[in-house]
Amino acid sequence: MEELFAAFWALIHWRLVLSVVGSAAITLTLSNLFVGFTAGYCITFVILAAAFGIYWQSRSEAGVGITTQVPEPKISSPVTFLGMSFVGLIWVGLVTELLKSELLAVTSLILSVAVVGLWRGVVLRRPMPLQMIVFSVGALLSGFLAVLIIVHLNA
């Protein structure tokens, strides 16, 4: 019965399954072809493909194409700031733990804002204003900065 449920779920969410299985096949091929394409790259690629699959699936369930423009939801600035602070805290904390470098973690966070800005400008055709970029970087870094201050004050 569980196998039947799993097959039914896979048929309903085929975009997510396709993204994960396709990326796993690509990473398997790349890791066999290139010695330097290690497990870290494979896992990262599959996670990014899964995120894309979730994005693709959710847009299709809403009846919207993958590049179709939709009105942005109205979210207040304090709520946005708190959410982005939490995301920044988790992201930079994980990258710091993995790479053992706070500078690389902060740089990866800033580059992620640039990637989202490019995606928004090129794919969604909504240029990201400089004010929004500065707000995003500041909000994302504030969560990590708070923990950094606490750690260095207790040391």
**Closest of 73, 70, 88 to residue 141, by C-alpha:** 88
Between CA 58 and CA 136 the distance in angstroms is 24
Is 155 a member of any domain?
no
* Helix ranges restricted to H, the chain: 2-12, 14-33, 39-61, 77-99, 102-122, 130-154
Record the pTM: 0.56
Q: 3 is in which domain, residue-wise? A: 1-68
Residue 49: the pLDDT is: 92
Is 54 a member of any domain?
yes
Residue 7: the pLDDT is: 66
Is 125 a member of any domain?
yes
Question: Is residue 95 located within the same domain as residue 130?
Answer: yes
Between CA 18 and CA 1 the distance in angstroms is 23
Using 70 as the pLDDT threshold, list the residues of the chain that sit under it: 4-11, 155
Residue 6: the pLDDT is: 67
Question: Is residue 62 located within the same domain as residue 89?
Answer: no
Domain count, the chain: 2
Residue 129: the pLDDT is: 84
Question: Is residue 111 located within the same domain as residue 132?
Answer: yes
Q: Are 96 and 102 in contact (CB under 8 A)?
A: yes
